[in-house]
Amino acid sequence: MKRTVKELADLVGGDLRGDGQLILASVASLKNAGPNDLSYAEEKFHEAVLSAEAGCVIVGSGEFAGKTTILVRNPKLAFARAASVLLTDDNESRSIHPTAVVAHDAVIGQNVKIGAGAVIESNTAIGDHTIVEAGAYVGRNARIGESCTIYPHVVIYHDVEIGNGVIIHAGAVVGADGFGFVRDGMKQVKFPQAGRVIIEDDVEIGANTCIDRGSLETTIVRRGVKLDNLVQVAHNVEIGENTVIAAQTGISGSCTIGAQSMIGGQVGIGEQATLAAGTIIGGQGGVLNGKRIKGGALLWGTPVRPLKEFLLQQAHLARLPKIYEELQKLRKEWEEFKTKVRDGNTKL
């Protein structure tokens, strides 16, 4: 959505230098930006600002003669906020596609887009300014808030509640049954998966991520959580506010992850584990079943341990081949020494 430089400067609370009436239509890197693009530059890239063709550059300091700039404390953050406006589509183009299937009792808000082939089941509600792209499915009794974006082929099961400003990327599944079974002799009997999923405001869910409904309770993803692609969230899990979880992480059932935590890629978290607020786990870390981790811990490895301890152990592991060679040499020398003693060729 087009905006003037002045409008963007006001939006990010920056100091405008240059042409405030210049209209910007999109964003780009300094290298690729054109005269109608917004870009940004950290201090180490300030030399490139003078040669860039960007219409406006957000910077943290400096004077750039002949260039339109916006001066802010955190250029990257300001750029992200401005980009969210410039990259928003034109509301006037929103409508319900004629091939979409919308139940007669579904409540559809104002200025909603529903794409081709999307299915909106009975007794659902979709808030104002929300976009449901082509081929998406919204199950019965589901609730989607305002200003959400549901990308193509997302599946939202029945009774799922989604807050405002939520983004769900293509192929994600929200509300499928959890993986719960009870053994009966040689057979597995399905345990009821009758709970719900609640996704609070400003959550982003990556492509092909799966969030299972609670078994008898509720799976909850709190406000501001960001989930990467291919994340698995099992039944009865609660993820605290503003937590970030990278791709291919798997969270087992009934886990609790505290607010402001950071979980790296391919981390495995065993069932009923509890991670207090501010926990940080490096990629491919493993949390054992029932483990309770204190807040603010920086952990790595499987099972997870403090980073310093993990790095020390890795250093020792790297030395094992050399230690083995030295041990073999000492063993050989010892055997030779024993042979000489036995043959009387040396004295103890």
Known catalytic residue at 169:
no
- Structure-token pair, residue 313: 């152990």
| Successive 10-residue mean pLDDT values, the chain, 348 residues | 94 95 96 96 92 96 93 96 88 84 97 97 97 97 97 98 98 97 96 96 98 96 98 98 98 97 97 96 95 90 91 90 93 87 70
The whole-number pLDDT of residue 51 equals: 92
The whole-number pLDDT of residue 143 equals: 98
Phi, psi (rounded to 5 degrees) for 337: -65, -45
Whether the CA torsion 21, 25, 29, 30 is positive or negative: it is: negative
The whole-number pLDDT of residue 91 equals: 62
Phi, psi (rounded to 5 degrees) for 91: -60, -25
Q: How many whole angstroms separate alpha carbon 210 and alpha carbon 303?
A: 24
- In sequence order, the 6+-apart residues with CB closer than 8 A to the CB of 69 are 16, 17, 18, 49, 56, 57, 58, 59
Q: How many whole angstroms separate alpha carbon 167 and alpha carbon 81?
A: 16
Q: What is the pTM of this model?
A: 0.88
Per the residue annotation, which of 129, 153, 169, 235 is the catalytic one? 235
